[in-house]
Structure 1
Amino acid sequence: MPRATSQKFSRAHEPSAKKKDNQASGSMTNPIFNTARFGQHILKNPATAQKIVDAANLKPTDKVMEVGPGTGNLTVKILEKAKHVTAIEMDPRMAAEVIKRVQGTPEQRKLEVVIGDFVKVDMPYFEVCISNTPYQISSPLVFRLLSHRPLFRVAILMFQREFALRLVARPGTSLWSRLSANVQLYAKVDNIINVSRNDFRPPPQVESSVIRLVPIDPPPPVKFEEFDGMNRIIFSRPNKTVRGNFQAKGVMKMLEQNRSTWLSMQDMVRAITSWSLVPLPVDDERPVTKMVDDILTELGHTESRAAKMDIDDLLKLLSAFHEVGIHFS
């Protein structure tokens, strides 16, 4: 994992610090706010920063992972309450600014800065995650957090408002989507703060929202790839019926191949161990198209649309498919 101390980092970037800034006068002449390279927008409103930190209900014993600290406006407030903060920052200039903010203070020993792409770096142990999330990694960040073990206690995450609203959407609403279902299978999600674009420097083109994400503990015993694979089909055309989406070009062929592969693997397990964890539906001679139609009819979802199906509906449907050997990954 790439790490940086203030001394090593400063020496490595001294030449760039001597370059002249040809931008207009004012606060934007500081090259630290030329954030186009990574699409960053610095949260400048201290009241909003305090609300975000307060929403985490931090304990003096907490280890916090912060993603995208920027210049450290959230970081310094987190350090006041937490035991330790690991800040993951992709932009070395920003990382230097965060280190500079605490240099020579008692908080310096509580801060570790990791320079790198959050999607690629190793995550540290943490109880709480706080993030002013770079919008381009919103979805990868959420699912990387949900797959992390051990489970964390809570995450307070800022996203583009449209993305946040999809995370918290409920079945039966226009924003209920594959993203909503996949996240809410594993976590409780609430919208807690709306943030104006004017709270950032430079202001983004969109409004933002802060959500609270609490993992379900223990997580449901459902393989994410299977749940997501089924939802990819069901939510592919939201205005079509579930049956219509399963009849889309290529879907049945994929399911036939998946079932054939799964049955072959089960046969290998049975041949080696003389037993199987799952009863094999080898006597079911129905074509996969008939199996799918029968399951949808039995569960009453032939004419259902994805927007009306809640988590329980989706889980029952997945279980029924698995019972006849139909898999999605």
Structure 2
Amino acid sequence: MPKIKVEKKSRVHNEVVKQGILFNKDFGQHILKNPMIITNMVEKAAVLSSDTILEIGPGTGNLTMKLLEKAKKVVACEVDPRLVGELQKRVCGTPFQTKLEIKVGDAMKSELPFFNVCVSNVPYQISSPLVFKLLLHRPFFRCAVLMFQREFAMRLVAKPGDKLYCRLSVNTQLLARVDLLMKVGKNNFRPPPKVESNVVRIEPRNPPPPINFKEWDGLTRMLFVRKNKTLSSIFRQAPILANLEKNYRINASLNNQTLPPEFDMKLKIEEIIEREKISDYRSRTMDVDDFIKVLHIFNTEGVHFA
């Protein structure tokens, strides 16, 4: 009886073979292939001949090559050594070779280099941490033109009252102006992702608002856990009151203040909320100025969130 030959399945996980390259979806490797979109992204970034450009995840270099035509220098951060090799081949022996600096490794685990503008087709799994790494980077950069998953992009620009309005929206809009530039269909990538995309432009606010960002983060985290509830309802919750009282007593101690035995944190919070007429505020409808106002009101009264 003849033996039946059974072919073994490939053990290449989450990878797609295209033009001899294995694209690893775990790294978010969806290569932008449409030259018109690439040209539009570079134009929207208004790249100057004196600019140093940061690119996160250059892939095979389609966007990189266009940036090299316009900029003084491009610093490309790539985690996959195979794609680094592809990028090096593309510039080898060309005038662009001296203009390109490749940093091999995870850009989220190291300090970002100096740059004037960031232009990237961002690996979607690092979208949120990358946005805040960029916005906290110093010195300030001029702008960033970035490709994101559509829902993420819509959260960045969502306004108070919108369904997608969230802590990401208000945190980003505190630190930057964000504009939607264009929609990008999944067929503009190789291999196509499962989601649609958008290009956004992010321009940092320089100088940033003069607030304590740890306090801001503590307040927004607390309020967005229940974004449909009123402030008076949220501040009545026992765990929140306990945490605020702990912070209040620590702050009083640091300032050599003695609290009376009958001190009641719940009563103090209620008095502040009623006096300032903010009891009906809800985080889903509060804009950046409203959050700054609420933070200032409580901090002035010695109530802290961090």
Instruction: Report the TM-score when normalising by structure 2.
Output: 0.90
Deviation at 1:282, TM superposition (A): 6.2
Aligned match for 1:92, one of 78, 81, 106: 81
- Kept in 1: contact 2:45–2:117 (CA 8 A): yes
Q: Name the amino acid aligned to 2:116.
A: E
Q: Name the amino acid aligned to 1:320.
A: I
Q: Give the 3 Å change call, closer, same or farther, for CA 286–121 of structure 1 in structure 2.
A: same
Deviation at 1:31, TM superposition (A): 4.8
- Kept in 1: contact 2:23–2:30 (CA 8 A): no
Q: Matched residues in 2 for 1:260 and 1:324: separation?
A: 12
Q: Matched residues in 1 for 2:258 and 2:143: separation?
A: 42
| SS of 2:160 mapped into structure 1 | coil
Q: Matched residues in 2 for 1:123 and 1:85: separation?
A: 13
Deviation at 1:22, TM superposition (A): 9.4
Q: Give the 3 Å change call, closer, same or farther, for CA 282–193 of structure 1 in structure 2.
A: farther
Question: What are the ranges of 5 or more consecutive residues in structure 2 without an aligned counterpart?
Answer: 1-9
The percentage of counterpart residues that share the same residue type is: 48
Aligned match for 1:306, one of 264, 280, 283: 283
- Kept in 2: contact 1:236–1:245 (CA 8 A): no
| SS of 1:264 mapped into structure 2 | helix
Q: Matched residues in 1 for 2:259 and 2:175: separation?
A: 33
Q: In the TM superposition, what whole-angstrom CA distance separates every residue of 1:221-242 from its partner, at most 9, and x where no partner exists?
A: 1122211210111111122222
Which residue is equivalent to 2:41? 52
Q: Name the amino acid aligned to 2:215.
A: E
Counterpart mapping for 1:24-173 below 5 A? 28-173=17-162
Which residue is equivalent to 2:5? none
Q: Matched residues in 2 for 1:91 and 1:281: separation?
A: 58
Q: In the TM superposition, what whole-angstrom CA distance separates every residue of 1:282-305 from its partner, at most 9, and x where no partner exists?
A: 689752222322222233221221
Task: Report the aligned-residue RMSD.
Answer: 2.1
Q: Give the 3 Å change call, closer, same or farther, for CA 42–237 of structure 1 in structure 2.
A: same
Q: Give the 3 Å change call, closer, same or farther, for CA 29–134 of structure 1 in structure 2.
A: closer
Q: Give the 3 Å change call, closer, same or farther, for CA 108–240 of structure 1 in structure 2.
A: same
Which residue is equivalent to 2:243? 254
| SS of 2:96 mapped into structure 1 | helix
Counterpart mapping for 1:196-211 below 5 A? 196-211=185-200
Q: Name the amino acid aligned to 2:281.
A: S
- Kept in 1: contact 2:29–2:123 (CA 8 A): yes
Aligned match for 2:201, one of 189, 208, 212: 212
Q: Give the 3 Å change call, closer, same or farther, for CA 41–300 of structure 1 in structure 2.
A: same
Q: Name the amino acid aligned to 1:321.
A: F
2:273 equivalent to 1:296 = yes
- Kept in 2: contact 1:33–1:202 (CA 8 A): no
Deviation at 1:137, TM superposition (A): 0.9
| SS of 1:164 mapped into structure 2 | helix
- Kept in 2: contact 1:42–1:201 (CA 8 A): yes
Q: Name the amino acid aligned to 1:306.
A: S
Q: Give the 3 Å change call, closer, same or farther, for CA 81–29 of structure 1 in structure 2.
A: closer
Q: Name the amino acid aligned to 2:201.
A: R
Q: Give the 3 Å change call, closer, same or farther, for CA 309–22 of structure 1 in structure 2.
A: closer
Instruction: Report the TM-score when normalising by structure 1.
Output: 0.84
Where has structure 1 moved over 4 Å in runs of 4 or more? 280-286
Q: Matched residues in 2 for 1:135 and 1:89: separation?
A: 14
| SS of 2:103 mapped into structure 1 | strand
Which residue is equivalent to 1:13? none
| SS of 2:118 mapped into structure 1 | strand
Q: Give the 3 Å change call, closer, same or farther, for CA 285–174 of structure 1 in structure 2.
A: farther
| SS of 2:76 mapped into structure 1 | strand
Deviation at 1:37, TM superposition (A): 3.6
2:301 equivalent to 1:327 = no
Q: Name the amino acid aligned to 1:201.
A: R
Q: Name the amino acid aligned to 1:145.
A: L
Deviation at 1:138, TM superposition (A): 0.8
| SS of 1:240 mapped into structure 2 | coil
Which residue is equivalent to 1:242? 231
| SS of 2:21 mapped into structure 1 | helix
